[in-house]
Structure 1
């Protein structure tokens, strides 16, 4: 049974790494959170999460590859057997990328990051003390429907997705012959800035907006600049799909590990020229988020399906703010957190082959941006399916977004 999407939460490390100790820590993590050692089984009315024991040994689910990290490695995770696995890519002696792979059925980005950090806390205990502290199994986390129902929130008529009607996109549907063979994997582009943008909250506060609004505004304005065939002063309607962690917008709030998925979505149409005001757009987005939380719409989107493909795929921005560094033993340091997405998109190849010329892309979002601060560096990571947006265009978007943010910080 192949999962529809395997997501990875990875940390880039420098220093000596004890793979045996890491494997032991991974086993402890699976004992502490039994659901991640569970599996998915088909049922009459869909699929069930089955948690009935320790699952496969951690040693069978931990792989180490000695290779160039940038080459990556394909996930090997069958949700009919387990819902998590651990891959470690080692380049040279002391450069590593450790990826906690998981099925989206049991974790969103917030929970996965929590689990990743807990893994390294357990690893540090093993390295220092020979074994982790006594592990007590935690309850299986609630589903988003359960968590919201306990707070009196049920599915309503709207998620706000209708705001995206009539929006445009600068990318294109690739020709079938231009798509790579096998599974399609997201192309990654990353830009990291040290120093200038480490105090985004204070910068945004001074400008009368939120850090979320400021970063997101820079990215959507930079995306507007990619419409090379449109005059700079002509407004273009762009769609924005922006994730918001609803855990902390609920009353009472929910702890990161106590619900599987609780990411909500802000939908926004923005009519932008190439030189739209960064501050004005940032304030619009900050106000929209505040209004959607107050009205309950943000909480509603947790219960709504993913956005549907529209006239133009939306810009997707995921701002995670300031992440602390994980607990690590002496001599080992972390310098980067990254998202790893792998989809079996064989269906996309078949759909593209059937599309009439000029048809809108059969996907809801174009480039997805993941951005925030970690290890004293601000970074933006862009993920883009092959053939949709040329790499040089993505490079230009990232360059302009950083320039806009640096201008705001000056």
Structure 2
């Protein structure tokens, strides 16, 4: 290593899985108007100075341990191509283990997509959304020639460090060994892109769904989860209790002291839920059961013991009899899993007067773990949206149908 390329720290177990699969997640913004490429380059350069993790590379150290390497002299990964903005990854170059990148696709008119890509080993969804908001604030300041003197942040800590600092034990990690990685590599996956299905409620419908949740003693996440499980069970013609529901829980607000978004890499746990038979007959009761189970896990601290268990099906009680399954067995196990991640409300995104940020949408990674097709739940401009890389199907139609029906309950 040169003087400018120094080891920051080895990756913790909660980060290693993302490194092994090379997982990047994209945060795409569709814009209309005047997009100043030079100002975007300047804004990203400042962002990298403020958050040095964005200037890092993920490498194997001298002992073959996945690690974060500081490389401030490494050129920023920022590029621009002309193409169809419906594909924000059009012309995306090899990211070469950079921690972060900016990719812009310009349309034939005054539209473009600007995508922030972050390696999942160094930032989760909430962390990256915070960075996205910072990027657009810096861009707006650069366009307006406003002087900026932001404060530099430290490198983010791992979940293990943050829990240990607070005296919380997280138990043994359910991470696969080398044989399991090999089996996962043989599992069929979908190509990584923004294609798939999207369900979006209007702002009024979203407000109505929130009111339904309040009246029923549950949350929007509980209602979406119930509708998702019911729709998938109906579409596949299976009993709802055969599905293993797994969803990501952000632990930041559940820790004392609270963890700021850029202070941790993947401050997450995985909650698991299996419905009672015939639970799909009453979506409100199912939603209450899902949120009730989560509240119980938070109250008992079980949610922390489940931290970093990113292999949900292998964490089931009967998984011990499976051993190290081959690709076919593993694919069968994964086929019972329904997974979601709720990024919550997308923070306000600044823009100068001559540019409008019209929309936001996630781009989930292509990897063996994506055999469990994730459903990404967001709310942008007051509108609830569920995106998935699964192709449009009966599952999506039924999910939308259930959500609209739940929203009407508040009217």
TM exceeding 0.5:
yes
2:231 to 195, 218, 222: 222
Does residue 50 of structure 1 match 2:69?
A: yes
Q: Which residue of 2 aligns with 1:76?
A: 93
Does residue 406 of structure 1 match 2:411?
A: no
Q: Secondary structure, in 3 states, of the residue corresponding to 1:266?
A: strand
Q: CA–CA distance in 2 between the matches of 1:242 and 1:179?
A: 20
Q: Secondary structure, in 3 states, of the residue corresponding to 1:260?
A: coil
1:325/1:334 contact within 8 Å kept: no
Q: What are the equivalent positions in structure 2 for 1:251-262 lying under 5 Å apart?
A: 251-262=256-267
Please state which structure has a larger fraction of its residues in helix.
2
Displacement of 1:77? 4.3
1:342-389: per-residue Cα shift (whole Å, max 9, x none)? 3355xxxxxxxxxxxxxxxxx6863321123211322111123xxxxx
2:343 to 299, 307, 320: 320
Q: Secondary structure, in 3 states, of the residue corresponding to 1:117?
A: helix
Displacement of 1:76? 2.9
Q: CA–CA distance in 2 between the matches of 1:295 and 1:147?
A: 19
Q: What are the equivalent positions in structure 2 for 1:4-15 lying under 5 Å apart?
A: 4-15=22-33
Assess, with a 3 A threshold, how the Cα gap between structure 1 residues 2 and 84 changes in structure 2: closer, same or farther. Answer: farther
Q: Which residue of 1 aligns with 2:275?
A: 270
Q: Which residue of 1 aligns with 2:148?
A: 133
1:77/1:83 contact within 8 Å kept: no
Flag structure 1 segments of 5+ consecutive residues without an equivalent: 160-174, 346-362, 385-389
Displacement of 1:279? 0.6
TM norm structure 2: 0.79
Flag structure 2 segments of 5+ consecutive residues without an equivalent: 1-18, 175-185, 315-329
2:95/2:101 contact within 8 Å kept: no
* RMSD value, Cα: 2.8
1:134-179: per-residue Cα shift (whole Å, max 9, x none)? 24321111111111110111232588xxxxxxxxxxxxxxx99x98
Q: Which residue of 2 aligns with 1:117?
A: 133
Displacement of 1:195? 3.1
Q: CA–CA distance in 2 between the matches of 1:343 and 1:96?
A: 23
Q: Which moved more, 1:306-315 or 1:188-197?
A: 306-315
Q: CA–CA distance in 2 between the matches of 1:305 and 1:192?
A: 27
1:218/1:404 contact within 8 Å kept: no
1:35-67: per-residue Cα shift (whole Å, max 9, x none)? 11111221215111111x423233xx2111221
1:189/1:394 contact within 8 Å kept: no
TM norm structure 1: 0.80
1:313/1:365 contact within 8 Å kept: no
Does residue 380 of structure 1 match 2:389?
A: no
